[in-house]
Amino acid sequence: MIRLNKSVELLEWGLGSKQGNQNWNKIGSGKIIQKPKINDGIAEIIVSVNGDFVKANLNDEYIKIAQLGEGLTANANQAGEVGMGRIKKIDKTNNQYLVTIELKGAAKFSN
């Protein structure tokens, strides 16, 4: 379940070619800034990213959304996956990145 009032971490799949160097890398963190829009079963969220947002793996448009203490994590200090989506749009305004993410799979939202 994606908690709208909790901060999120955005992760991308690594560029490596073998299991040792191909993993999820954090590329940004921030907050969901508005209630998700759901259209034809596809949820769309906008994340306001703190600091830089640099995507290294341009071959993969997918992104993992994680939150502390959520998903299948054992404790509140670890981030767990709460969603997987596709980057639809990246806007930069006033040194702040707004990342629009489409969630095509089932997604559940709560405060």
Domain residues for the domain of 39 are: 2-110
| Residues 77 and 68 sit within 8 Å (Cβ to Cβ) | yes
pLDDT score for 88: 94
pTM of the model: 0.88
What pLDDT digit, counting tens, does each position of 14-71 carry?
887 777 777 889 999 999 999 999 999 899 999 999 888 988 888 888 999 999 888 8
Residues 81 and 8: their CA atoms lie apart, in Å, by 10
Give the dihedral sign, CA 52/66/61/104.
negative
Total number of domains constituting the chain: 1
CATH number at residue 15: 2.30.110
